[in-house]
């Protein structure tokens, strides 16, 4: 390896505690999406780290069957971060300890940024914690001292535009011993609308020494590079832009390496990946649930493909694997 190549490899990687992440592109934890089959696709197509969908602290403590199933992972997905959410210090510690003992994940991530009402309002967890920096620091400190795996935290810019406090919260999180922090540069009030404010990520990066992962509006190679260059963050997190598009990770990696844009996947690649995704979901969850999930994933894969509107509608009503594949074959062979 030449010196220049070595410098490029080092530049394009980062660390979370002792864990080396091979590149700067990370899959976001998305509820109902970031399950094992989706994470495997992301890793195969170049995600350096994948986050599993969040699980409830109380769901783990009370051994809720659905919650426990969400912990399923394979070695192919690693390195992997398992995300948990909750608002009670004791139950968060108990849940984190359970994951530390019973999961092969590499990182334990605490969700302090989810904006959905059932989490942020009814459970007073997720982004609701942004209103209580003292509690955030206490939870992170207690979890860090109770587990052996690196602990990371995902936050928002703040609760709303009048209470943007990401810098203060990030400093508290670092002081509590976290190994990295992800900043979604929107407030809870914004939800997933409007534009992400990259200045917030930049300010957080300037005030902490632990790695900062930037989240919000990363759609392709140029937007990823802009976030990295403008904010100085250590990695970018890709969420909605990966829906139906696991190729985005290799596209961003290539752009970061040499500024070139990869060609979009062929129709053959798209069809093959959709079937691969479906079959993996069937193996994990059974045909009925897999088809229900692919009713969402299918149209995402077809976004931007000409004359696919009828197929998108058809896939949302498909009931069997046989029908799903037949509809794909009829379209892509036409």
Q: Are strands 212-215 and 235-238 parallel, antiparallel or unpaired?
A: parallel
Q: What is the pLDDT of residue 120?
A: 66
Residues contacting 283, CB < 8 A, separation 6+: none
The full set of domain ranges for the chain reads 3-258, 267-332
Q: What is the pLDDT of residue 176?
A: 98
Q: What is the pLDDT of residue 3?
A: 39
Q: At residue 63, what are phi and psi to the nearest 5 degrees?
A: 55, 45
- Active-site residue, 114 included: yes
Beta strands in 169-284 (DSSP E): 180-184, 212-215, 235-238
What is the chain's pLDDT, residue by residue, as a tens digit (334 residues)?
A: 443 444 444 468 899 999 999 999 999 999 999 999 999 999 999 999 999 999 999 999 999 999 999 999 999 999 999 999 999 999 999 999 999 999 999 999 999 988 887 786 777 888 889 999 999 999 999 999 999 999 999 999 999 889 999 999 999 999 999 999 999 999 988 988 889 999 999 999 999 999 999 999 999 999 999 999 999 999 999 999 999 999 999 999 999 999 999 999 999 999 999 999 999 999 999 999 999 999 999 999 999 999 999 999 999 999 999 999 999 999 998 7
Q: Are strands 25-27 and 19-21 parallel, antiparallel or unpaired?
A: unpaired
CATH superfamily of 267-332: Putative flavin oxidoreducatase; domain 2 (1.10.1200.80)
Q: What is the pLDDT of residue 11?
A: 61
8 Å CB contact between 79 and 19: yes
Q: Are strands 107-112 and 151-156 parallel, antiparallel or unpaired?
A: parallel
Catalytic residue among 27, 96, 114, 218: 114
**Predicted TM-score of the model (pTM):** 0.94
In this structure, CATH architecture of domain 3-258: Alpha-Beta Barrel (3.20)
């Amino acid at each position: 390896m030449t010196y220049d190549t070595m410098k490029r490899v080092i530049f394009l990687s980062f660390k979370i505690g002792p864990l080396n992440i091979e590149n700067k592109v990370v899959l976001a934890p998305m509820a109902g999406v970031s399950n094992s089959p989706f994470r495997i696709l992301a890793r195969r197509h170049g995600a350096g780290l994948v986050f599993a969908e969040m699980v409830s602290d109380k769901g783990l403590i009370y051994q809720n069957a659905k919650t426990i199933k969400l912990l399923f992972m394979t070695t192919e997905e690693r390195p992997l971060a398992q995300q948990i959410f909750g608002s009670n210090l004791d139950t968060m510690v108990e849940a984190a300890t359970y994951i530390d003992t019973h999961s092969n994940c590499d990182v334990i991530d605490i969700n302090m940024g989810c904006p959905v009402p059932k989490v942020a309002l009814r459970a007073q967890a997720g982004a609701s914690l942004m209103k209580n920096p003292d509690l955030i620091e206490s939870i992170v400190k207690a979890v860090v001292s109770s587990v052996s795996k690196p602990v990371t935290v995902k936050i928002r810019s703040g609760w709303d535009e009048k209470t943007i406090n990401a810098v203060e919260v990030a400093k508290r999180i670092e002081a509590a011993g976290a190994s990295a922090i992800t900043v979604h540069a929107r407030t809870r009030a914004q939800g997933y609308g409007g534009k992400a404010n990259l200045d917030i990520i930049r300010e957080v990066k300037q005030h902490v020494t632990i790695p900062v992962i930037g989240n919000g509006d990363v759609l392709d190679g140029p937007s990823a590079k802009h976030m990295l260059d403008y904010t100085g963050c250590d990695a970018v997190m890709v969420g909605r832009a990966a829906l139906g598009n696991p190729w985005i990770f290799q596209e961003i990696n290539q752009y970061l390496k040499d500024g070139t844009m990869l060609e979009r996947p062929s129709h053959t690649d798209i069809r093959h990946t959709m079937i691969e995704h479906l079959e993996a979901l069937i193996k994990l969850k059974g045909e009925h649930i897999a088809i229900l999930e692919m009713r969402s994933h299918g149209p995402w894969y077809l976004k931007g493909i000409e004359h696919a509107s009828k197929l998108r509608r058809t896939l949302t009503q498909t009931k069997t694997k046989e029908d799903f594949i037949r509809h794909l074959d009829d379209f892509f062979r036409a």
